[in-house]
Copies of this chain bind each other. A is one copy, B any other.
Amino acid sequence: MRHIDTLVLVGVGLIGGSFALALRRAGAVGRVIGVGRRPETLVTARELGIIDESAQGFACVSSADLVMLAMPVGQTQPVLRGMAAYLGPNTIVTDAGSTKSEVVRAARAELGAALPRFVPGHPIAGTEHSGPQAAFADLYRGQRVVLTPLEETDSRALARVREAWEACGARVHQLDAEVHDRVLATVSHLPHMLAFALVDQVARSDNAAELFSYAAGGFRDFTRIASSHPEMWRDICLANRAAVLEELRRYEDGLELLRRALEAGDGTALEALFARAQEARNRWLGALAGKMPGSNE
């Protein structure tokens, strides 16, 4: 890949930080400049070797080869607005937001002539932890990254972003932004909401301490994603509201059927559903084992 002389990271936490660390390890990047809301976070990122320097405001993007947006997705439009005037004629901008249609809409609204050099992206990787101290160079190894280019997207810009992710060890796929958002609503955004809702139900109970004291490994794994960053997930839900609502309503309908089966004492229906789910999951795991190294999200 072509060397990235200057990378600007907007957001230096788990996602942006791991991107920089992976590029550094691949020898693919020179100087990394961090931009962020909290000065103390930028200090930490510098101490951890994620960034070389920090900048205030967006004038720094004028000298960048690549700008990576890795802050909560709700800040995308104001951030693009803030940097638009400074973007150099060769600067490529990409992002790592978990939703894509809203990001594309924001880019169309803010980037003007720079729009062809914007490459929307989403690394399907992560952990429930956040902040620069959670970042690590192996986060993307073997994981999928989805790029959702626009019709206008410059093919060289697209190729360069693809190369950067491949240097991080990721497998790059392309999807239409709306298809991406519907798929992720089902397999990621909905489960996050369900996990948050369950933990909140336990926490709101009169005997919450007793309940938690009997929670074991099944509960721990089911709710792992409920330790995720609240603001990030607020933004994802709002940005992908239509698709998440559609999946949530489908889930509520499915749950109602399950409840009715239980109310009726219909063991046959319960066992059939459980067996269908078990079989589908085990088939998926089997396919996964054939394709992927260990995975995180």
Segment among A54-62, A149-157, A278-286 that sits at the interface with chain B = A278-286
**Once the chains bind, are A201 and B254 in contact (CB under 8 Å)?**
yes
Q: Is the CB of A217 within 8 A of B259?
A: no
- Picked from B203, B225, B229, B262, the residue with its CB within 8 Å of the CB of A244 is B262
B196 touches A226 (CB 8 A): no
Complex: chain B residue closest to A272, CB-CB = B230
**Do residues B281 and A199 form an inter-chain contact, with CB atoms below 8 A?**
yes
Q: Which of B125, B198, B203, B223 contacts A251 (CB 8 A)?
A: B198
Quick check: B284 and A215 within 8 Å, CB to CB?
A: yes
Tell me if B192 and A218 are in contact (CB < 8 A). yes
Residues of B within 8 A of A273 (CB): 196-197, 200
Q: Which residues of B contact A230 (CB under 8 A)?
A: 271, 274-275, 278
Nearest CB in chain B: distance from A226 CB, A: 5
For residue A238, which residue of chain B has the nearest CB? B267
Kindly state the separation between the CA atoms of A201 and B267 in the bound complex, as whole angstroms.
19
Check if A172 is an interface residue, CB within 8 A of chain B: no
* Residues in chain B near residue A124, CB distance under 8 A: 214, 216
Contact A259:B245 (CB < 8 A) given known A222-B224, A273-B196, A276-B203: yes
Q: Which of B211, B214, B222 contacts A221 (CB 8 A)?
A: B222
Inter-chain contact A277/B214, CB cutoff 8 Å: no
A28 at interface, CB cutoff 8 A = no
Distance to closest chain B CB from A210 (angstroms): 6
Binds B, one of A16-24, A100-108, A160-168, A179-187: A179-187
Given known contacts A214-B187, A271-B231, A220 and B295 CB-to-CB distance under 8 angstroms: yes
**Nearest CB of B to A104, in Å:** 18
Instruction: Pick the residue among B187, B197, B219 that contacts A297 (CB under 8 A).
Output: B219
Which one of A126, A256, A281 has the greatest number of beta carbons of chain B within 10 Å? A281
Closest beta carbon of chain B to A90's beta carbon, Å: 32
CB pair B216–A270 under 8 Å, yes or no, is no
Selected from B212, B256, B281, the residue in CB contact (under 8 A) with A227 is B281
Instruction: Pick 20 A–B contacts, CB within 8 A, sort by A.
Output: A125-B216, A126-B217, A183-B207, A186-B202, A188-B215, A188-B218, A191-B198, A193-B255, A194-B198, A197-B251, A197-B258, A201-B250, A212-B287, A220-B288, A226-B278, A226-B281, A233-B270, A238-B262, A238-B265, A245-B262
Name the 3 nearest CB pairs between A and B, nearest first.
A216-B297, A203-B280, A230-B274
